[in-house]
Amino acid sequence: MLLSEKGLKVQSQVEVPVLFKGKIIENAFRLDLLVENLIIVELKAVENILPVHEAQLLTYLKLTKKPKGILINFYSTNIFYNGQKTFITDEYSRLPKE
């Protein structure tokens, strides 16, 4: 079932501009998915997740100040066991407690 069918707001290919030396660089990065304007989901299909893939997601989290990111690798026998990695930022601790 799709996330949007579960009632979640999902945006794909979200552009992230970057401010560099006083100038805005449009379309500098694109998030694969942004769920509920809180969670960045970066999708891969690679034999091994490399540090550069993790750095990419961490950069997105830092630039957008989002609290959580999930790196999902579809080149995996079991996505839930070894095909995903979750990252949280300091923003996570600032979320309202329910």
26-75 pLDDT, tens digit each: 888 999 999 999 999 999 999 989 999 999 999 999 999 999 999 999 99
- What pTM value is reported for the model? 0.87
Higher pLDDT, 24 or 40: 40
Domains and CATH numbers, the chain: 4-93 (3.90.320.10)
d(Cα 33, Cα 14) in Å, to the nearest integer?
A: 7
pLDDT of residue 1 exceeding 70 = no
Sequence-ordered alpha helix ranges (H) in 1-98: 51-64, 79-82, 90-93
State residue 27's pLDDT score.
Answer: 81
